[in-house]
Structure 1
Amino acid sequence: MKVMVVGGGGREHALCWKLKGSQSVSEVFCAPGNPGIARDARCVNVGAEDIDGLMELALAEKPDLVVVGPEVPLVLGLGNQLRAEGFPVFGPDKAAANLEGSKSFSKRLMHEASVPTARFEVHVDVEEAIETIRAWGAPIVVKASGLAAGKGVIVAQTEKEAIDAVRDMLSGNSFGEAGSQVVIEEFLTGEEASCLFIVSGDTILPLASSQDHKALLDGDKGPNTGGMGAYSPAPCVTEAIANEVLETVAHPIINALKKKGAEFIGILYAGVMLTEDGPKALEFNVRFGDPECQPLMSRLKSDLGEVLLAAANKKLDGVELEWHEGTALCVVVSSDGYPASFDKGQSIGGLDAVEAAGTTVFHAGTAEKDGNIINAGGRVLGVTAVAPTVKEAQQTVYSALEKLDWPGGFYRRDIGYRAVAREAS
């Protein structure tokens, strides 16, 4: 079959790479793609948020399956328009995508569905938000309600930091429309994990567990980013915990959406905190995580094309997933200065040598200029390896990264540290 992938980041590169290797897939094309994706799929220069352009492309190319990678086109209703033209789509409609598009909607739905989550309040007024912060004390979490590319969450260690964040979002317009509402949340203590599910109507198929590293610096210090690395499986997610998340988080939220007339087809990503009182949902995404997708696709043994088409056609019941043994670990190389300002257009060398050292390099924020790969975004590369243990996967990636020739690149040096410590003990 012919598959159209929408997006141009590391997640989409991993999906195109995996689809290219699927026996069920004869052709993959990607809009807009990037120079790395161009190795695995035909790239068409139509932006991921250009809904009219994407519709024209689909009608011209007539793909057998459309896989929507990023959240923005889903929130804009691309899934609705594609389905109206008869295309099988992997990605939810606009109403279900609101689960990620609005944190206030998501938290209220969790409350309605009795999904275990942190205590919260939604505010549009600065002074009322400040009252809540002073009443609850710190540490406390402040979230921009709308889409903020993974950066709209402030884990404030002091009341002042939280109040500054609220003022910044509601008055300072630091996240634009995304910050016109804020969610104030109780701070939860525990270990965070990513639990992803392929959802097709009433059928929910869990993926292997994974763990993201959202903070910029080693030891989970510094500001939140879109993710600086990930690995799969996550040892903290035992079989019992995985089952508990499926029964107390995934099924209730999908049922709650269905009651509102929003049927879900696509990826449900539950970010969960493993607390002393059990798993609690932090937030939901409606697409593969980035960078979680890179290690997940590296470990997946099953034919991805077959699985996603079955989900799109509501024929997922009875499908089982097979996984390669061992651990896949991805380290994100970002532009130095990310998530704040950074310089673009820097030449990146040594990529072939990095891959020759036993890794797969997934491109995210790259472009091509005069035959050279340059940085064109904040998170630029996802260097990924599969090995029998977390420690070996970690060593392979960091050893390979020594061959990267990009002085303006930055990466954490401790991705997977929790799992490495668990292995050692």
Structure 2
Amino acid sequence: MKFLFVSPEALSLDLAYTIKQEGNEVKFCVQSATEKDVGDGFVDKADEWEPHIGWADVIVFDDIGSGKVAEKLRSEGKKVVGGSTYTDRLENEREFGQQELEKAGVSVLPSWNFSDFEEAIKFVQEHPGRYVIKPSGRAQNEKELLFVGQEADGNDVINVLAHYKKRWSNKIRIFQLQKFSSGVEVAVGAFFNGKEFVHPINTNFEHKRLFPDNIGPSTGEMGTLGWWSERNKIFEHTLEKMKPRLAESGYVGYIDINCIANGTGIYPLEFTSRFGYPTISLHIEGVTSKWGEFLYSLASGENPRLQTKRGFQICVVVAVPPFPFNDEKTFRKFSEEATILFKKPDLAGVHLGEVKREGDDWHIAGKSGYSLVVTGSGDTTEEARALAYKRVSNIMIPNMFYRTDIGSRWVRDSDLLLSFGYMN
């Protein structure tokens, strides 16, 4: 089959390369000027995607923002994996996402939306407490701007809001203050075929902070622990309730909802209405079905059951400077064209981030420093962790770094979820 990937920032290279390795034809179109070399030597590239619409059996949009064009192509009879205008809004507009959850009967945390920093500061002064600052729109992609308040009187949130007003008001036009709630941060996701969810589902724990023990700035994600299963209460209380609206919008693809679970309920925090990164590499580790066949069936509106491994999967992001920040000078100094070496020629569990290949040599590509994702599986989390980190130890990149604790909080978190009654 023929797959056309439309990728604003080359995020889906690993999936595209996997589908090519299965024997399918792939064209990979990177739209960002700074990421144009990502994937060179691994997949066939296309400068523009529109001329290849007729060529493709399946068109894959790997990020939000393509919902309108995806809907148009579907109306013309094309098989499309990707968003809808509705699911774009679910992720991009936090207030809209929370409103839709409430309409579906899902419990949500109290939140307030602002476009004026002084109004937000006044609100916290009048209603002291712990809050989370969440930029909306394009600014939410700057993960370091998300701030979780630690002080009971909200003074730290007030100080950060004052700083954002001074330094970031031209970028943060709309933002949300959400009431802080302690508990287990857990996500649940599943593929959707335009009408219904495809099983099994995936439950996972994301590790978003840069350093071990959740210290440092937020990143897109530094690694994930996950597993495939049948329905559970986390899915039933949150994502499953969105089925009618997702079907109405014709969404086709993977959708995930991140939540806080505690003794009083399960509270969704945000949607990811697209492939997750590095979550898609975690899925590739755990899925034994052929990805090309599965995505073709999904885009055809069929209900193909995913064949998956039992047990657990772990993925670890291996990065180089300037990740998670954007700094071209730092990238040129420390990472540009850096060679990726392997101590042994075993590439099992090594997944592509922003890399390229010249002959047999792998090099850093793009500008962000998001280099590789390394995965492992096992019947227990410790087995999966041991395999993933053994594979990481086989990699040599100048200035590489990664978190060493991905999946280590499983015992605590699973005990809590069991005690709350949300897991079997």
Query: How high is the TM-score relative to the length of structure 1?
Result: 0.83
Shift of 1:277: 2.0
Q: What is the match of residue 29 of structure 1?
A: 27
Q: What is the match of residue 162 of structure 1?
A: 157
% same residue? 23
Q: Structure 1 residues 406 and 28, CA, compared in 2 at 3 Å: closer, same or farther?
A: same
Shift of 1:386: 2.7
Whether 1:248 aligns to 2:244 is no
Deviations 1:125-171 (A, max 9, x none): 21221133234434311111113336142212233432344345555
Amino acid at match of 2:203: S
Q: What is the match of residue 96 of structure 2?
A: 105
Q: What is the match of residue 115 of structure 1?
A: 106
Q: What is the match of residue 7 of structure 2?
A: 7
Q: Determine if contact 1:144/1:169 at 8 Å carries over to the other structure.
A: no
Whether 1:66 aligns to 2:59 is yes
Q: Determine if contact 1:354/1:401 at 8 Å carries over to the other structure.
A: no
Which of residues 30, 42, 45 is equivalent to 1:43? Answer: 45
Whether 1:374 aligns to 2:364 is yes
Amino acid at match of 2:343: A
Q: Secondary structure at the match of 2:343?
A: helix
Which of residues 279, 287, 291 is equivalent to 1:304? Answer: 291
Shift of 1:112: 2.5
Distance, in Å, in 2 between the alignment partners of 1:423 and 1:351 is: 37
Q: What is the match of residue 149 of structure 1?
A: 141
Amino acid at match of 1:30: F
Shift of 1:104: 1.8
Whether 1:198 aligns to 2:177 is no
Amino acid at match of 1:71: I
Which of residues 343, 356, 359 is equivalent to 1:353? Answer: 343
Whether 1:276 aligns to 2:269 is no
Q: Which runs of 5+ in 1 are unaligned?
A: 47-52
Q: Determine if contact 1:212/1:291 at 8 Å carries over to the other structure.
A: no
Deviations 1:72-123 (A, max 9, x none): 444xx33134335432111122233111121121122222222122111111
Larger deviation: 11-20 or 163-172?
163-172
Which of residues 14, 39, 51 is equivalent to 1:56? Answer: 51
Q: Secondary structure at the match of 1:108?
A: helix
Which of residues 313, 325, 332 is equivalent to 1:328? Answer: 313
Which of residues 390, 393, 415 is equivalent to 2:384? Answer: 393
Larger deviation: 110-119 or 358-367?
358-367
Which of residues 205, 214, 219 is equivalent to 1:220? Answer: 214
Q: What is the match of residue 294 of structure 1?
A: 281
Q: Determine if contact 2:189/2:203 at 8 Å carries over to the other structure.
A: yes
Distance, in Å, in 1 between the alignment partners of 2:29 and 2:344 is: 26
Q: Determine if contact 1:199/1:311 at 8 Å carries over to the other structure.
A: yes
Q: Structure 1 residues 339 and 28, CA, compared in 2 at 3 Å: closer, same or farther?
A: same
Distance, in Å, in 2 between the alignment partners of 1:9 and 1:389 is: 34
Deviations 1:302-343 (A, max 9, x none): 232233223322222xx3222112332111122235333552
Shift of 1:21: 5.0
Shift of 1:344: 1.6
Larger deviation: 202-211 or 96-105?
202-211
Q: Determine if contact 1:120/1:185 at 8 Å carries over to the other structure.
A: yes
Deviations 1:237-275 (A, max 9, x none): x86xx53233332233343466xx633222221112222
Aligned residues, how many? 399
Q: Structure 1 residues 266 and 131, CA, compared in 2 at 3 Å: closer, same or farther?
A: same
Which of residues 158, 175, 181 is equivalent to 2:174? Answer: 181
Q: What is the match of residue 74 of structure 2?
A: 83
Q: Which runs of 5+ in 2 are unaligned?
A: 416-424
Whether 1:139 aligns to 2:130 is yes
Which of residues 215, 224, 227 is equivalent to 1:230? Answer: 224
Larger deviation: 397-406 or 95-104?
397-406
Distance, in Å, in 1 between the alignment partners of 2:24 and 2:90 is: 33
Shift of 1:172: 3.2
Q: Determine if contact 1:211/1:230 at 8 Å carries over to the other structure.
A: yes
Q: Structure 1 residues 190 and 11, CA, compared in 2 at 3 Å: closer, same or farther?
A: farther
Q: Structure 1 residues 188 and 175, CA, compared in 2 at 3 Å: closer, same or farther?
A: farther
Alignment of 1:310-321 (within 5 A): 310-316=297-303, 319-321=304-306
Q: Determine if contact 2:7/2:28 at 8 Å carries over to the other structure.
A: yes
Q: Determine if contact 1:29/1:42 at 8 Å carries over to the other structure.
A: yes
RMSD: 3.1
Q: Secondary structure at the match of 2:52?
A: helix
Distance, in Å, in 2 between the alignment partners of 1:217 and 1:139 is: 23
Query: How high is the TM-score relative to the length of structure 2?
Result: 0.83
Q: Determine if contact 2:355/2:362 at 8 Å carries over to the other structure.
A: no
Q: Determine if contact 2:340/2:363 at 8 Å carries over to the other structure.
A: no
Q: Determine if contact 1:36/1:362 at 8 Å carries over to the other structure.
A: no
Amino acid at match of 2:15: L
Distance, in Å, in 2 between the alignment partners of 1:40 and 1:263 is: 32
Q: Determine if contact 2:353/2:372 at 8 Å carries over to the other structure.
A: yes
Q: Determine if contact 2:66/2:84 at 8 Å carries over to the other structure.
A: no
Q: Structure 1 residues 82 and 218, CA, compared in 2 at 3 Å: closer, same or farther?
A: same
Deviations 1:156-207 (A, max 9, x none): 223343234434555533672xx21111101121122221121233311243
